Protein backbone atom coordinates (compact mmCIF):
# COMPACT_ATOMS: atom_id res chain seq x y z
CA UNK A 1 0.00 0.00 0.00
CA UNK A 2 1.36 3.37 -0.93
CA UNK A 3 0.86 6.56 1.00
CA UNK A 4 -1.56 7.86 -1.61
CA UNK A 5 -3.82 4.81 -1.28
CA UNK A 6 -4.23 5.28 2.45
CA UNK A 7 -4.99 8.97 2.21
CA UNK A 8 -7.62 8.62 -0.51
CA UNK A 9 -9.34 5.51 0.80
CA UNK A 10 -13.05 6.41 1.15
CA UNK A 11 -13.45 4.11 4.16
CA UNK A 12 -10.67 5.90 6.03
CA UNK A 13 -12.06 9.32 5.15
CA UNK A 14 -15.50 8.25 6.39
CA UNK A 15 -14.06 7.01 9.71
CA UNK A 16 -12.12 10.25 10.19
CA UNK A 17 -15.25 12.29 9.40
CA UNK A 18 -17.31 10.28 11.93
CA UNK A 19 -14.61 10.76 14.56
CA UNK A 20 -14.67 14.51 13.95
CA UNK A 21 -18.46 14.57 14.36
CA UNK A 22 -18.20 12.72 17.67
CA UNK A 23 -15.54 15.17 18.89
CA UNK A 24 -17.74 18.09 17.85
CA UNK A 25 -20.73 16.64 19.74
CA UNK A 26 -18.61 16.10 22.87
CA UNK A 27 -17.26 19.66 22.73
CA UNK A 28 -20.75 21.08 22.20
CA UNK A 29 -22.08 19.13 25.20
CA UNK A 30 -19.17 20.27 27.38
CA UNK A 31 -19.78 23.89 26.38
CA UNK A 32 -23.50 23.54 27.15
CA UNK A 33 -22.83 22.03 30.58
CA UNK A 34 -20.28 24.74 31.39
CA UNK A 35 -22.74 27.45 30.36
CA UNK A 36 -25.51 25.95 32.52
CA UNK A 37 -23.23 25.61 35.54
CA UNK A 38 -22.00 29.18 35.09
CA UNK A 39 -25.55 30.51 34.92
CA UNK A 40 -26.57 28.51 37.99
CA UNK A 41 -23.62 29.81 39.99
CA UNK A 42 -24.42 33.40 39.04
CA UNK A 43 -28.08 33.06 40.02
CA UNK A 44 -27.54 31.12 43.25
CA UNK A 45 -26.87 34.22 45.41
CA UNK A 46 -30.28 35.59 44.39
CA UNK A 47 -32.03 32.93 46.46
CA UNK A 48 -30.34 34.34 49.57
CA UNK A 49 -32.50 37.46 49.45
CA UNK A 50 -35.63 35.54 50.50
CA UNK A 51 -34.23 34.04 53.68
CA UNK A 52 -36.47 33.47 56.63
CA UNK A 53 -36.06 35.48 59.82
CA UNK A 54 -37.68 35.38 63.23
CA UNK A 55 -38.76 37.88 65.87
CA UNK A 56 -40.02 37.49 69.42
CA UNK A 57 -42.54 40.19 70.33
CA UNK A 58 -45.95 40.90 71.85
CA UNK A 59 -49.08 41.22 69.72
CA UNK A 60 -50.52 44.75 69.63
CA UNK A 61 -53.46 43.99 67.34
CA UNK A 62 -54.99 41.22 65.24
CA UNK A 63 -56.90 42.10 62.05
CA UNK A 64 -59.00 39.16 60.83
CA UNK A 65 -60.27 41.06 57.76
CA UNK A 66 -56.84 42.03 56.39
CA UNK A 67 -55.21 38.84 57.75
CA UNK A 68 -52.48 40.76 59.56
CA UNK A 69 -50.81 40.88 62.94
CA UNK A 70 -49.22 44.02 64.35
CA UNK A 71 -46.50 43.43 66.92
CA UNK A 72 -44.94 45.75 69.49
CA UNK A 73 -41.91 46.11 67.21
CA UNK A 74 -44.15 48.37 65.09
CA UNK A 75 -44.20 46.02 62.11
CA UNK A 76 -47.25 44.45 60.47
CA UNK A 77 -47.08 40.80 59.41
CA UNK A 78 -49.32 39.23 56.76
CA UNK A 79 -50.61 35.72 57.38
CA UNK A 80 -51.89 33.11 54.88
CA UNK A 81 -55.66 32.62 54.41
CA UNK A 82 -55.65 29.23 56.16
CA UNK A 83 -53.95 30.74 59.24
CA UNK A 84 -55.45 29.75 62.62
CA UNK A 85 -55.91 32.83 64.83
CA UNK A 86 -56.99 30.75 67.84
CA UNK A 87 -55.34 32.04 71.02
CA UNK A 88 -53.92 35.13 69.33
CA UNK A 89 -55.01 38.41 70.87
CA UNK A 90 -53.48 41.66 72.03
CA UNK A 91 -50.87 41.16 74.75
CA UNK A 92 -49.88 37.59 73.81
CA UNK A 93 -46.13 37.06 73.40
CA UNK A 94 -45.23 35.22 70.18
CA UNK A 95 -42.26 33.99 68.20
CA UNK A 96 -42.87 34.76 64.52
CA UNK A 97 -40.93 33.17 61.67
CA UNK A 98 -41.36 35.27 58.55
CA UNK A 99 -40.04 35.96 55.07
CA UNK A 100 -39.82 39.45 53.62
CA UNK A 101 -41.51 39.55 50.21
CA UNK A 102 -41.71 42.81 48.22
CA UNK A 103 -41.20 44.88 51.36
CA UNK A 104 -43.89 43.18 53.45
CA UNK A 105 -43.35 40.52 56.09
CA UNK A 106 -45.19 37.25 55.48
CA UNK A 107 -45.61 34.81 58.38
CA UNK A 108 -44.24 31.31 57.72
CA UNK A 109 -44.82 29.98 61.25
CA UNK A 110 -45.84 31.33 64.63
CA UNK A 111 -45.42 30.00 68.17
CA UNK A 112 -46.99 31.34 71.35
CA UNK A 113 -44.31 31.95 73.99
CA UNK A 114 -45.38 30.79 77.46
Who contacts 85 (Cβ-Cβ below 8 Å, separation ≥6)? 62, 64, 79
Enumerate the domain spans of the chain. Answer: 3-46, 51-112
CATH 3.30.1370.60 fits 51-112, yes or no: no
Q: What is the mean pLDDT of residues 88-110?
A: 90
pLDDT digits (tens, 9 = 90+) for 25-80: 988 999 999 999 988 888 776 555 667 788 999 999 999 999 999 999 999 999 98
Three-state DSSP class for residue 59: strand
| pLDDT the model gives residue 1 | 52
Give the DSSP letter of residue 22: H
User: pTM of the entire structure?
Assistant: 0.56
Sequence-distant contacts of 77-83: CB under 8 A, at least 24 apart: 77/105, 77/106, 77/107, 78/104, 78/105, 78/106, 78/107, 79/106, 79/107, 79/110, 80/106, 80/107, 83/107
Amino acid sequence: MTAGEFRHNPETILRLYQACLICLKVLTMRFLIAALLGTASLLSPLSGFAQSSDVEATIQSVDLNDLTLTLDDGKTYKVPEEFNFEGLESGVKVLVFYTEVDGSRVVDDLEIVQ
